[in-house]
Structure formats: C-alpha cells, structure tokens
Amino acid sequence: SPSVDSIDVATVPDGSEISAIGDSVMLASVAALQESMPGIDIDASVSRGFANGVSIAEALREEGELREYVVIGLATNGTIPQEALGRLSALAEDHKIVLVTAFGDRPWIPPSNDALHRFVEEHPGVAAIADWSSAAEHGSGLLAPDLIHPEPAGATVYATEVMGALERLHMLELGLKPHRLPDAVENDQDTDAPDQPEASQLPQDDEDGSESDTDGPGEPEGDDEPDYSGDPRAP
C-alpha cells in the first residue's frame, strides 16, 4: 500500500482532472483530499448509497462537468446494485474510475468490497482500487470511536490510498510502469504483494444504528434513493 513519501506527485493526475463522489467517510477526508490534490472536485454527503452516487456522476457527465478521473467512495451504506455497476461500466468507457473499498462491521461491506474488486478485474487499465478497507484494518489511531469514519490521521491515509490508485492509472496512461499495478493487471505480472497500508476518518454514528451513515442493510435499486435530508449530521 502506498505511503505519502512513496508517491511521485508528478505521476498523479492534477486535481483539476479529478471528480470525487462519496459518502460521509469521504466527507471526513475532504480536507486531506484537497490538500493532497488541490483543485479536486468533491461531492460527498452522509448516508449516500452507491446507485445514487452513480446517478450524480451520470448527471455531471451529461452537463460536461465529469472529469477524466472519477473517484467513487460509496460502499459503506448498503449493498451495491448490479444495475448501478452496469451504469458505472458505461462511465468507464470514457473515464478512469477509482473505487474506494469500505471498512466497518456491517454485513454488506465485505460483499460490496468484493463487487468493487470484480469491477476492477473486468475493467483492466481503466479502473483501480483504493484499498481503504485494508488500510483501516491494519492501521492504528485512524478511526473514530464508531470504527467506520476516519480521524484526521485516517483521512490522510484515505487520501493517500486514493492518490496511489490514481497514480497507477495515470502511469498506465502515460505508458509508464506503475509502482503497483491495478488489480486486474497485477494478476498477470510477477509483482511483489504490496505492503498493507496505514489508514483514514469523520462524523460518528449512533450506537443503535439510528440516523447512522450505515443505516440500511441494502440500497434500493434504481433512482428511488431514500431521503436522508433530515439526518442531523447532514452538512
């Protein structure tokens, strides 16, 4: 997993080339993302699900506002609908996609992370994983008491994971050999397994799960997303 010192800023896309769409874990990491990649466009909100985020990306593309590199951090709040992954595939036809894995003690998170890894395997060279899940699991002092959202130190690690994934995609585009190849390409290469990363964090969820950022066992398919406008933590 990358560290800040191991990333060559010259091989990371400029922030003006990056759109990021995420949930409250990304929201907790906004300052670190902006510091690491000045000019990045971030749309992050509490309790946002995957299908809703893909709809936002589609709307941005329709308006000509979706940038070349698209970071999606939306695996925390429910299962990932297959139809949403299909729509993301259409976006991947003319955009590079970074998918951020989720961390937390929620039953839908492992299968959601598996779905993200499968997507990357099916889209070699145009999609990459930012492995926040491994970083959060193996780091220390990175998470808030809810063990889902990053503390400031965790937010820095979250941003570093995103930068590492962007770097790998950008170097492939430049015809350079990435320090760590995207997952699908790694399978065909004799590359050493990367060290596990350190990790990243923000708003805390209620212990009983009410009004939490991980408040549902799943996410509705299609465009009928739940209304979280009454969430007391909504910005």
Residues of the chain with pLDDT under 70: 1-10, 177-235
3-state secondary structure of 35: helix
Domain-embedded: residue 227: no
The pLDDT value recorded for residue 199 is 39
Dist. CA 195–CA 214, nearest whole Å: 29
Counting Cα atoms < 13 Å in the Cβ hemisphere of 170 gives: 20
Domain-embedded: residue 202: no
Domain-embedded: residue 211: no
- What CATH number is given to the structural domain containing 145? 3.40.50.1110
The pLDDT value recorded for residue 48 is 97
Neighbours of 195 (CB within 10 A): 12
Dist. CA 92–CA 84, nearest whole Å: 12
The pLDDT value recorded for residue 220 is 41
Number of domains forming the structure of the chain: 1
Residue that the structure tokens 């299908």 belong to: 51
Q: Residue 164: what residue type?
A: G
The pLDDT value recorded for residue 171 is 87
Domain-embedded: residue 1: no
Domain-embedded: residue 198: no
What spatial distance separates the first Cα and last Cα of the chain, rounded to whole Å? 31
pTM listed for this prediction: 0.73
The pLDDT value recorded for residue 185 is 40
Dist. CA 98–CA 91, nearest whole Å: 12
Domain-embedded: residue 209: no
**Closest C-alpha among 116, 100, 226 to residue 157:** 100
pLDDT in tens, 95-140: 999 999 999 999 999 999 999 999 999 999 999 999 999 999 998 8
The pLDDT value recorded for residue 140 is 86
Domain-embedded: residue 25: yes
Structural domain harbouring 92: 13-186
